[in-house]
Amino acid sequence: MAREAVENVFTHIHGASASVDFIGKWRDGKLQPTFSFEICSHGGYVQFYVRTEVRFRDLVESAVFSQYPDAEINEVEDYASPFKTMTFPPKDGEALDLFGSEFKLKNADYFPIRTHDEFEEKLAGEYKDPLGTMLESLSKIRPEEQVWLQILATTPSNNDWKKAGEKYIKKMAGIKEVPKPSMLAKIAGVPMGILSDAMIHGSVITPGEAVKKKDDSSMFKMLMMTPDLKVTMEGVAEKIAKPGFKCKIRIVYIAPKKIKFIPRIYPAIKGSLNQFNALGSNAFSPYVPVMTQDDYFWLRWTLNDKKRRMLSRYIKRSGDGATKSVLNVTELATIWHFPIITTKAPLVKKTESRRAEPPAGLPQAPRELGGMAEGEWSKPKRPPKPAKVEPPAPAGDGGAPPPGLPTV
């Protein structure tokens, strides 16, 4: 299905991650690559974009073509660049105004959100695409409006979030972690180890000494664990088992000031993201410090500066603002994927047919009847030129009489 195919695309793109050490980061300025996966509605016409560095263009194209052989990828100009001349506050009602916000995970990165498996009805086998509600909302905006959704994804330089997930699982299961001894403890432990061996071989330990009992507390704790906690632990284990990206979700809504109506756009986007909230695990929440809201009078003092920063960060695909949260390839494919045929958004173009080669063993006409020989290139034939019509001879005294004229 489409969602598994996009998951494979993200796994392929994750191969762009590189090992960045201290010297490479601070002396050479080496950073992990950042990709931007975007869904934009230009006056109701929804488009999907992938922004990447030039050096990774072949990587992205091969990842898409490997799962979608009939896909058509076109390089386009940045749709956001023409809006960088916007000024705040707007001069009049005809001038463009902006609203923007960012989202991040509420809890620790190793806690999962709802993925595409949970949107499928087990009995009927029908998949309810969570992206359909968002696309439906984006396709109903006015022609003068713009709604942009941006997901910045950076390959993490380490697996600290996976290690934190492993610690959580061991803690909830009651498995005690043995701390690693420091270098000083290892040096001091050498003579103690020699002394211990001497005491054991010297029969200091008597045969009648009590044997230590096996610790069964972890097994008992697993048996007494509640079902919801078991589901959470399984979700954590599944999330840390797959590659992940450090992600940030950013939305921008642009419209003329006289028709801008935030309650018609923002709740729809926020409600679409709320579909991925998993009770007792993780959820998306707006990052209030960068949101361009003016609910209270003290927020209006910095409102225009927030709008300028929000627009500049979107155009530059900057990582400033909210802290990035880790999403694995399954979660990322659940939020951003190409729409399936059953997604009923009127202004989202979907391919219902595909181009394919003719089947093998197809009979061909003989060459003398217009067919082609094996391996011959089927170059289209030019249409035949029309026959040249000779003009009639001019009439005059010196002209010859036409043939077949009756004689007297």
Among 134-148, 159-173, 265-279, 339-353, the least confident range: 339-353
Range of the domain at 120: 2-162+229-335
Cβ neighbour number for residue 120 with a 10 Å cutoff: 14
Q: Quick one: pLDDT band at residue 203, thresholds 50, 70, 90?
A: very low
**pLDDT reading at 184 higher than 90:** no
pLDDT of amino acid 162: 93
CA distance 217 to 172: 12
Q: Is residue 288 part of a domain?
A: yes
More confident residue, 187 or 168: 168
- Contact between 290 and 306 under an 8 Å Cβ cutoff? The reply is yes
Question: Taking the CA atoms of the chain, what radius of gyration do you get in angstroms?
Answer: 34
User: What confidence tens digit (pLDDT) does each residue in 5-37 have?
Assistant: 889 999 999 988 777 666 666 666 677 889 999
Task: State the DSSP H helix or E strand holding residue 105, giving kind and residue range, or none if neither.
Answer: strand 96-105
pLDDT of amino acid 45: 93
CA distance 115 to 251: 21
Helix 2-13 × helix 57-67 angle, to 10°: 150
Please report, to the nearest 10 degrees, the dihedral formed by the alpha carbons of residues 160, 161, 163, 164 taken in order.
Answer: 120
Q: Is residue 343 part of a domain?
A: no
| Mean pLDDT over each residue of the chain, to the nearest integer | 79
CA distance 251 to 151: 9
CA distance 46 to 18: 33
CA distance 107 to 102: 16
The string of DSSP codes covering 245-313 is EEEEEEEEEEEETTT--HHHHHHHHHHHHHTT-BTTTB-EEE-GGG----SSGGGGGSHHHHHHHHHHH
Runs of H (alpha helix) within 47-182:
57-67, 131-138, 160-173
Q: Is residue 397 part of a domain?
A: no
Q: Is residue 396 part of a domain?
A: no
What whole-number percentage of the chain has pLDDT above 90?
A: 45
Closest C-alpha to 21, from 31, 10, 34, 36: 31
pLDDT of amino acid 118: 84
Q: Is residue 20 part of a domain?
A: yes
Among 21-25, 66-70, 232-236, 330-334, the least confident range: 21-25
Q: Is residue 168 part of a domain?
A: no
- Show the CA angle centred on residue 183, arms to residues 177 and 187, nearest 5°: 115
pLDDT of amino acid 306: 94
Number of domains in the chain: 1
Q: Is residue 129 part of a domain?
A: yes
Q: Is residue 187 part of a domain?
A: no
pLDDT of amino acid 345: 54
Greatest extent of the chain over all pairs of C-alpha atoms, in Å:
156
> φ and ψ at 36, to 5 degrees?
-120, 120
CA distance 151 to 83: 19
The string of DSSP codes covering 369-387 is GT---TT---PPPPPPPPP
Q: What is the mean pLDDT of residues 188-197?
A: 59
